[in-house]
Amino acid sequence: MIDAGALFALSHSGGKDSQGGSIRLRSLVSADQLIVVHAPLGRVEWPGTLAHIRATIGDLPLILARANEDLLAKVRRRGYFPTPSVRNCTSDLKRGPISRELRRYLKANPQFGGRIVSCMGLRADESRDRARRSPFNFSASSSKAGRHWIDWLPIHHWSEARVFAEIAAAGERPHWVYAKGMTGCSCSFCIMATRDDLRRAAQLRPRLAAEYIALEEEIGHTLSPTRIPLREITGEAPAPAKIAR
């Protein structure tokens, strides 16, 4: 696909694994075949994320794939938070808008011949589900209207230690949240986050934490799949009875 002149597009969250993927891609693929796409998450995204991405991708084109609705507004309208098994936050706010923008870019740039390699920084040692994923996959569902679409996980085999080592070796720094004790970087309060990350996020963004807590209590549903209210996890106030839903 490199030799065929395909477009290589990296979905970048601002986190360490996206940054590691960017470093590897830039070592393998010509800059005129590379773009970066980011799905901004608005107020639930960590401050400084877009600036961090721009500072670490050099002169590569950056495309913003914006969703039509804010995450918390969507949760309020639906009456529940996404869950690990129903991650409509990923499909609605990231995957869908990113796929839309990549189709538009490919159509507007015929020099790539409809060939695209969509890249993400997912790693095998993050979870059993990600370990089972094939790092290179032909996407039949996206290969339509003259497109030939490949999904690729360029750092699927990297360890977390290697990610940080490659970032340092490239003369870059990871997103500031890692130095503040967070282990992940996307939504400030993620449904997949550990309790420690949720507590640390509440310390770093207390106003946003208060908004999440109020929303949980308004709709009667918790962010955490443990079903433990965020108020109890963060210790913001005496914990109410656990929400049953």
Tokens of 142: 């996206």
131 and 190 share a domain? no
Question: What is the pLDDT confidence band of residue 239, given thresholds at 50, 70 and 90?
Answer: very low
**Which pLDDT score is estimated for 245?**
38
DSSP letter for each residue of 97-128: HHHHHHHHHHHH-GGGTTEEEEE----GGG-H
Does residue 244 register a pLDDT over 60? no
Rounded distance, CA 70 to CA 75, Å?
9
pLDDT at position 136: 95
**Structural contact between residues 52 and 192, judged by C-beta atoms closer than 8 angstroms:** no
pLDDT of residue 241: 46
pLDDT at residue 59 greater than cutoff 50: yes
Q: Are residues 157 and 186 in the same domain?
A: no
List beta partners, residue 138.
150
Residue 138 CA to residue 141 CA, distance in Å, equals 9
pLDDT in tens, 60-91: 999 999 998 899 999 999 999 998 878 888 88
Q: Which residues are registered as beta bridge partners of 79?
A: none
Residue 170 belongs to some domain of the structure: no
- Among 136, 161, 186, residue at a domain's last position: 161
Q: Which two tokens stand for residue 181?
A: 């004790």
12 and 101 share a domain? Answer: yes
**pTM tops 0.85:** yes
Decide which of 161, 190, 217 is a domain's last residue: 161
Kindly indicate the confidence band of residue 16, based on its pLDDT and cuts at 50, 70 and 90: very high
| Amino acid 21: pLDDT | 97
- The CATH number assigned to the domain holding 19 equals 3.40.50.620
For position 240, what pLDDT does the model report?
Answer: 47
Q: Which residue's structure tokens are 């009456």? A: 79
Q: Quick check: 116 and 102 in contact, CB under 8 A?
A: yes
pLDDT digits 0-9 by tens, 93-148 = 899 999 999 999 999 999 999 999 999 999 999 888 889 999 999 999 999 999 99
In a domain, 42, yes or no: yes
Distance CA 104, CA 37 (A): 12
Residue 24 belongs to domain spanning: 7-161
Helices in 68-227 by DSSP H: which ranges?
A: 71-78, 88-90, 96-108, 128-131, 160-169, 176-179, 195-204, 206-219
Number of domains in the chain: 2
